[in-house]
Amino acid sequence: MAAHDLFPSTEAYETGMLPVDNLHTIYWEQSGNPEGRPVLFVHGGPGAGASPDHRRFFDPAAYRIVIFDQRGAGRSTPLGETKANTTQHLIADMELLRVRLGIERWHLFGGSWGSTLALAYAQAHPERTSALLLRGIFLCRQSEVDWFLYGMRTYFPEVWARFSGFIPEAERDDLLRAYYSRLMDPDPAVHMPAARSWSTYEGACSTLMPSPETVAAFGEDSMALGLARIEAHYFVNKIFLPEGALLERTATIRDLPGAIVQGRYDTVCPPATAYDLHRAWPAASFRIIPDAGHSAMEPGIRRALVEATERFKNHA
């Protein structure tokens, strides 16, 4: 494998649907080496879901690769469901899955919201976490949510104009509430256009260079609904954690090894947040990728993430 490539595509050797309560059932899969180093891929969003390409960050000969779709996302059911869907529920689901698969400790790999949830899990269960490999750090402080809703127009004014223009002018002083009310409407004629507008806004701002393929993927109905509705739900509820809690609780993971990979021109999750985490968690390496934005699939980010998984594949 060339140093800059993802690993070749591989098939899952086991898949399943795990009921986590009377409402939600989550999709999970395993690929790679059943005897390898366990690693859990924690997808972004919240609500974006995982894909087969996400297996390719890991050497399938060395890793036991576990992927799951969080409540309401991807192949989990019901899609876009926000009831009984909190950060605490997701952490409990990860623990339930770990026990179901008979894993003692695992690496956590996550970007964007995946970094948020991985941090929250590791802080709740440091004894079950062997390492954290994180990208595009998002701590969901109010300043970061405000940046997502309003600040990104600094770099993407025409994209933000479409995003804000979807909402009547009288409601634009609170875009989150305006979108949330439409996204939660039971009528698909109301919630689907709002979901596509929200999701394609994020997709268009996620890469350093324009990527019509990324925007198209974010605009697909299942992706758009899961991402937009659940993201707005978590933002409205401040991810069900006190303001700044993830940064304040880094003492619980100070000695855990890890890697932080951050695009210099990440507009969705600007580098200042990653730097704040780096200062609070000195045990983790910190790497700024000079020619990258937010997406994990940009060449520099992709290369750095694979290098990180290679570095940690023999770490107990």
- pLDDT, one tens digit per residue, over 175-201 is 999 999 999 999 999 999 999 999 999
Banded pLDDT at 4 (limits 50, 70, 90): low
Question: What does the pLDDT look like over 246-296, one tens digit per residue?
Answer: 999 999 999 999 999 999 999 999 999 999 999 999 999 999 999 999 999
Return the number of other C-beta atoms located less than 10 Å from residue 237's C-beta.
13
Residue 106 has pLDDT above 80, yes or no: yes
294 is catalytic: yes
Asked if residue 127 lies in contact with residue 104, where contact means CB atoms within 8 angstroms, the answer is: no
Asked if residue 10 lies in contact with residue 31, where contact means CB atoms within 8 angstroms, the answer is: yes
Q: Can you name the residues that pair with 37 across neighbouring β-strands?
A: 63
Q: What is the mean pLDDT of the chain?
A: 96
Question: What does the pLDDT look like over 144-162, one tens digit per residue?
Answer: 999 999 999 999 999 999 9
Token pair in block for residue 105: 């400790």
Asked if residue 176 lies in contact with residue 232, where contact means CB atoms within 8 angstroms, the answer is: yes
Give the CATH class of 12-141+240-312.
alpha beta
Asked if residue 69 lies in contact with residue 50, where contact means CB atoms within 8 angstroms, the answer is: yes
Question: What does the pLDDT look like over 54-102, one tens digit per residue?
Answer: 999 999 999 999 999 999 999 999 999 999 999 999 999 999 999 999 9
Average pLDDT over residues 222-230: 95
Phi/psi of residue 108, nearest 5 degrees:
-115, 135
Q: In the chain, helix, strand, coil percent, each to 5?
A: 45, 20, 35
Residues 6+ apart with CB under 8 A from 204: 156, 159, 210, 214, 215, 218
Phi/psi of residue 288, nearest 5 degrees:
-95, 130
Query: Of these residues, 130, 191, 266, 295, which one is catalytic?
Result: 266
Q: What per-residue confidence (pLDDT) applies to 55?
A: 98
Cis peptide upstream of residue 242 (ω within 30 degrees of 0): no
By DSSP bridging, strand 25-32 and strand 63-68 are antiparallel
CA distance 308 to 133: 7
Query: Of these residues, 112, 164, 197, 199, which one is catalytic?
Result: 112
Residue 243 has pLDDT above 80, yes or no: yes
Full-model pTM: 0.96
Residue 41 has pLDDT above 80, yes or no: yes
> Any idea which residue has 């976490």 for tokens?
129
> Any idea which residue has 């002083």 for tokens?
173
CA distance 29 to 248: 33
112 is catalytic: yes
Return the number of other C-beta atoms located less than 10 Å from residue 240's C-beta.
16
Residue 9 has pLDDT above 70, yes or no: yes
Asked if residue 220 lies in contact with residue 72, where contact means CB atoms within 8 angstroms, the answer is: no
Buried b (16+ CB within 10 A) or exposed e, 141-171: beebbebbbbebeeebeebbeebbebbeeee
Q: What per-residue confidence (pLDDT) applies to 3?
A: 41
Torsion of CA 241, 244, 249, 255, to 10 degrees: 130
Give start-end residues of each CATH 3.40.50.1820 domain in the chain: 12-141+240-312
Q: What per-residue confidence (pLDDT) applies to 298?
A: 94
